[in-house]
Chain A
Amino acid sequence: MKTTKILIIFCVLLSLQLHAQKYFTRSGITQFEASEKAFEPIEAINTSTTVILDANNGNIVSQVFMAGFQFNNALMQEHFNENYMDSYQYPKATFKGNLDNFSLISFNANNSYDLNGLLTIKGLEKNIQTTVDVKVENDQIFISGSFFVSAKDFNIKIPSIVRDKIANQIQINIDYELIEKK
């Protein structure tokens, strides 16, 4: 009797594990800021980042389109796409990584997780290590955080005439609300 009970519990747990619970969004917010003090702000926002998270093991993939970054200034947006990012040749940046020790089943009050993975911009890969806030509420998973990248890691050439106006360390802010993918 006892063994059957254990067996049933084991089967239930196994089926939970096998059912890949994926969470996703199409409209995640990715922002970057590269302003130097005393110069005009260099920042843009992208509200159409795709993110898919495997809620069982924390595997995460995301993708952001360069052409989806909105600037306040048309000329800056044009330079970003045509001169800095080559958006027609490299239309997107991708991230593939893992939220360490994350699992929806064993989610607890501890809402700070290490995020590790590879960021690819303009075909070049860079390892990213950061800590993000994760919140689970009303069947939604919220992930937010920020990290720094440097333009030269991705072979983004900044002309010397504007070099002083663009920060060496570019801050990337992420804010994603994921819902279950059915």
Chain B
Amino acid sequence: MIISISIISIYQYISLAPKKVVAIIPEYSGNANEFNYLVTDNLSYWISKVVQITGKATQVNEDGILINGTIYCQFENKKDIQSIIENQNIVVKGKLVGFDELLMEIKLNQCIIIQ
């Protein structure tokens, strides 16, 4: 009995799906410009971390938005983007995947709108 329960719980642990951004407490919350400095300083620390960024949506695309011209937030749910107007102030939460040297932007994935 105990063995079978432990086998089941081990299996459940092994086959767990990755946590969604919604369920993770952000490692950083604050202004986009300030966050830029932090990432330039120590990029590897921020990789895979969930962060919450406040700034202006300087560009609105089909699959994501650009915040303060330097942070590209790609949304999981494209419908969320429809409510965003260019130059609107916004708070988003997402997972940092890296710094894009081709476009000189910080890239966030699985973004959601907080405010």
Interface residues of A (CB under 8 A from B): 24, 26-27, 47-48, 50, 52, 61-63, 65-68, 70-75, 77, 81, 87-89, 91-92
A180 to chain B, nearest CB (A): 13
Mostly, the B contact residues are mixed
Q: Which 4 A-B pairs have the closest CB atoms?
A: A65-B98, A65-B97, A68-B97, A74-B18
A88 with B102: in contact, given A73-B17, A75-B16 (CB under 8 Å)?
no
A47 with B74: in contact, given A73-B16, A74-B16, A77-B18 (CB under 8 Å)?
yes
A to B CB contacts below 8 Å, 10 in the list: A62-B102, A63-B100, A67-B48, A68-B97, A68-B107, A68-B109, A73-B15, A73-B18, A74-B16, A77-B18
Residues of B with C-beta under 8 A to A47: 74, 109
A125 to B102, CA, bound (A): 18
Instruction: Tell which of A68, A71, A88 touches B44, judged by Cβ atoms closer than 8 Å.
Output: A88
The answer to whether B74 and A89 touch across the interface, beta carbons within 8 angstroms, is no
Residues of B with C-beta under 8 A to A62: 102
The answer to whether B74 and A26 touch across the interface, beta carbons within 8 angstroms, is yes
Give 12 A-B pairs besides A70-B18, A75-B13 with Cβ atoms closer than 8 angstroms: A47-B109, A48-B109, A52-B102, A63-B100, A63-B101, A66-B98, A67-B47, A67-B48, A67-B109, A68-B109, A74-B16, A91-B47
B64 interfacial by beta-carbon distance below 8 Å: yes
The answer to whether A74 and B100 touch across the interface, beta carbons within 8 angstroms, is no
Count class of interface residues, chain B:
20 to 34
Kindly report which residue of chain B lies nearest to residue A70, judged by CB atoms. B18
A67 with B95: in contact, given A27-B63, A27-B64, A75-B16 (CB under 8 Å)?
yes
A88 to B61, CA, bound (A): 29
Kindly report which residue of chain B lies nearest to residue A87, judged by CB atoms. B47
A77 to B44, CA, bound (A): 17
A87 with B48: in contact, given A48-B74, A48-B109 (CB under 8 Å)?
yes
Kindly report which residue of chain A lies nearest to residue B99, judged by CB atoms. A91
A114 to chain B, nearest CB (A): 23
B43 interfacial by beta-carbon distance below 8 Å: yes
Contact with A along B22-58 (1 / 0, CB 8 A): 0000000000000000000001100110000000000
The answer to whether A61 and B102 touch across the interface, beta carbons within 8 angstroms, is yes
A63 with B18: in contact, given A48-B74, A68-B107, A89-B44 (CB under 8 Å)?
no
